[in-house]
């Protein structure tokens, strides 16, 4: 990015004033700190609350009060079809066809449901490939599925170690792992964006490579959804799962999502079934035989939590208006500015773990505090006391993620100034 950045408030405020997405910030509730807005860089952990969420939940509470069971049919947005009201916006955010996505459950539950269908180990092909240092849920889930099928994680779980300077993983390393182990790998399960170091993975290249070795491919998009434009359908991935409380701003414990590629729309692979996955046309005949509905919807278990889907509907509507391409354009500049500030102003304090090439990272920069854990904790606590919210990852990393929907260039500058005043 050949922008001429400047470390002055005048420059940052001029960028904010010229930002075509600047008005979206007003649609969010920014947590206050000592009478002013805090500097919130934690949208990669819990996105901020859209103002419209309270009324959207209130409307469903009113329907429940006034219509009770009739709300399934007569609510303004009938509950019977409620998950369908988020479908198209969700599909746009992840680059899928509308029948390939469903909002349901939470990430961990969806990961297990997807593995029930897409991890079908045999005596010859039973391994799962994940990245070393994967998020605990992902590691626990794949390990427990391996055991559930009677295999041993010691031989069936392959963890790909980082081969690049900061511990990130090159495509060449993935190629080597598949060349070596491909014939015994049943499932390749990698992130869209690695949560700890912020590295972006090339979903399409990984899928093509893994498929050429006869493996199924799934992606955990917890840190990718709402952060980067995705092309899930074109990637060819078999499945993907995500949560909606990070970049998607749908609230703590929000309803997650799943993608099932259309080639599996009428899959006869085993699945764990529930009545909401049954063919909609005959669901209420309440017959004993499960007939899955077409597409990702066929993996649903339960009638959806309406009060939890209401915020997701609101937040996805914001993404529709903002557009993932425009968000990404701003994100590249905003994170580019943060990157520039760290390199030019804070090089004695912080080193960037996240890859520097814009195509290999999203909003987040993972910043290692030079000098170790105690120093890192001291800086982190100083930032928190001064109204700068990032998050801490052991042993010495602070993750800072400017979200293009509500963060400003001036926020990035305020972060740099807070670090500088701590360092002095």
Ligand X SMILES: *Cc1c(COP(=O)(O)O)cnc(C)c1O
Q: Do 179 and 171 form a contact (C-beta atoms < 8 A)?
A: no
Rounded Cα distance between 41 and 337, Å, is 14
Rounded Cα distance between 263 and 217, Å, is 13
Least distance from C-beta 23 to ligand X, angstroms?
Answer: 29
Answer for which of 31, 78, 99, 108 binds ligand X (CB under 6 A) is 108
Answer for which of 27, 89, 220, 238 binds ligand X (CB under 6 A) is 220
Burial 229-249 (b: 16+ CB within 10 A, else e): bbebbebbbbbbbbbbbbbbb
Give Dmax over CA atoms of the chain in angstroms.
72
x/- mask, ligand X, residues 244-283, rule CB under 6 A, reads: ------------x---------------------------
Of 222 and 322, the one with the shorter C-beta distance to ligand X is 222
Q: Do 315 and 390 form a contact (C-beta atoms < 8 A)?
A: no
* Residues numbered 160-199 forming contacts with ligand X, rule: CB under 6 A: 191, 195
With binding defined as CB under 6 A, does residue 305 bind ligand X? no
Least distance from C-beta 362 to ligand X, angstroms?
Answer: 12
Helices (H) and strands (E) in the chain, counts: 14, 17
Answer for which of 114, 222, 232, 306 binds ligand X (CB under 6 A) is 222
Which segments are annotated as binding site for pyridoxal 5'-phosphate?
107, 135-138, 220, 223, 245, 275, 303
Closest CA to 335 of 360, 315, 316, 317: 360
Least distance from C-beta 48 to ligand X, angstroms?
Answer: 16
With binding defined as CB under 6 A, does residue 60 bind ligand X? no
With binding defined as CB under 6 A, does residue 159 bind ligand X? no
* Region near ligand X per CB under 6 A, out of 68-76, 101-109, 296-304, 394-402: 101-109
Of 101 and 346, the one with the shorter C-beta distance to ligand X is 101
Rounded Cα distance between 141 and 137, Å, is 6
With binding defined as CB under 6 A, does residue 303 bind ligand X? no
Of 111 and 177, the one with the shorter C-beta distance to ligand X is 111
Sequence-ordered list of residues with C-beta below 8 angstroms from that of 276, at least 6 positions apart, any chain? 283, 297, 300, 301, 302, 303, 304
Of 155 and 302, the one with the shorter C-beta distance to ligand X is 302
Of 226 and 256, the one with the shorter C-beta distance to ligand X is 256
With binding defined as CB under 6 A, does residue 228 bind ligand X? no
Q: Which two tokens stand for residue 238?
A: 């078999």
Answer for which of 106, 168, 199, 389 binds ligand X (CB under 6 A) is 106
Residue located via tokens 């969420």: 53
Rounded Cα distance between 268 and 364, Å, is 39
With binding defined as CB under 6 A, does residue 28 bind ligand X? no
* Region near ligand X per CB under 6 A, out of 100-108, 118-126, 229-237, 342-350: 100-108
Of 191 and 277, the one with the shorter C-beta distance to ligand X is 191
Closest CA to 146 of 130, 126, 162: 126
* Region near ligand X per CB under 6 A, out of 207-215, 220-228, 275-283, 327-335: 220-228
Q: Is 54 exposed, middle or buried (0-12, 13-18, 19+ CB in 10 A)?
A: middle
C-alpha pair distances (Å), 13 with each of 6, 107, 251, 280, 412: 11, 38, 29, 52, 11
Of 248 and 414, the one with the shorter C-beta distance to ligand X is 248
With binding defined as CB under 6 A, does residue 89 bind ligand X? no
Of 191 and 229, the one with the shorter C-beta distance to ligand X is 191
Of 95 and 256, the one with the shorter C-beta distance to ligand X is 256
x/- mask, ligand X, residues 122-151, rule CB under 6 A, reads: -------------x-xx-------------
With binding defined as CB under 6 A, does residue 107 bind ligand X? yes
Q: Is 150 exposed, middle or buried (0-12, 13-18, 19+ CB in 10 A)?
A: exposed
Binding residues for ligand X, rule CB under 6 A, total 13
Is the bond leading into 26 cis (omega within 30 degrees of zero)?
A: no
With binding defined as CB under 6 A, does residue 201 bind ligand X? no
Cα angle 22, 23, 24 (rounded to 5 degrees) comes to 95
Binding residues vs ligand X (CB under 6 A): 106-108, 135, 137-138, 191, 195, 220, 222-223, 243, 256
């Amino acid at each position: 990015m050949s922008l001429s950045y400047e470390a002055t408030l005048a420059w940052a405020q001029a960028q904010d004033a010229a930002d075509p997405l600047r008005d979206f910030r007003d649609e969010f509730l920014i947590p206050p700190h000592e009478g002013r807005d805090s500097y919130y860089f934690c949208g990669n952990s819990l996105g901020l609350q859209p103002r419209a969420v309270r009324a959207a939940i209130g409307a469903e509470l009113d329907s429940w009060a006034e219509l009770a069971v009739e709300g399934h049919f007569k609510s303004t947005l009938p509950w019977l079809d409620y998950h369908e009201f988020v479908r198209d916006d969700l599909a746009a955010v992840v680059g899928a066809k509308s029948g390939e996505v469903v909002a349901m459950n939470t990430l961990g539950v969806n990961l297990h449901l997807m593995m029930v269908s897409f991890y079908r180990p045999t005596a010859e092909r039973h391994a799962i490939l994940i990245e070393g240092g994967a998020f605990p849920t992902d590691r626990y889930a794949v390990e427990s599925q391996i055991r559930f099928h009677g295999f041993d994680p010691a031989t069936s779980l392959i963890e790909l170690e980082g081969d690049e300077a900061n511990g990130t993983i090159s495509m060449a390393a993935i190629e080597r792992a598949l060349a070596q182990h491909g014939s015994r790998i049943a499932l390749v399960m990698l992130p869209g964006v690695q949560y700890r170091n912020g590295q972006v993975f090339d979903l399409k290249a990984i899928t093509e490579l893994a498929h050429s070795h006869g493996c199924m491919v799934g992606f955990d998009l917890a840190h990718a959804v709402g952060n980067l434009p995705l092309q899930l359908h074109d990637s060819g991935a078999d499945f993907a799962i995500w949560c909606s409380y990070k970049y998607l701003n749908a609230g703590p414990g929000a309803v997650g999502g799943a993608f099932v590629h259309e080639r599996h729309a009428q899959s006869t692979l085993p699945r764990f079934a529930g009545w909401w996955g049954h063919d909609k046309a005959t669901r209420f005949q309440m017959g004993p035989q499960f007939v899955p509905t077409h597409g990702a919807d066929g993996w649903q278990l339960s009638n959806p939590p309406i009060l939890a889907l209401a915020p997701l509907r609101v937040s996805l509507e914001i993404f529709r208006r903002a557009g993932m391409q425009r968000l990404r354009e701003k994100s590249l500049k905003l994170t580019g500015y943060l990157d520039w500030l760290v390199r030019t102003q804070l090089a004695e304090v912080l080193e960037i773990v996240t890859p520097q090439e814009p195509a290999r990272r999203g909003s987040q920069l993972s910043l290692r505090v030079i000098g170790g854990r105690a120093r890192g904790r001291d800086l982190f606590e100083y930032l928190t006391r001064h109204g700068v919210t990032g998050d801490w990852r052991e042993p010495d990393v602070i993750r800072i993620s400017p979200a293009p929907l509500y963060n400003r260039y001036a926020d990035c500058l305020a972060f740099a100034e807070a670090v500088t005043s701590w360092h002095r």
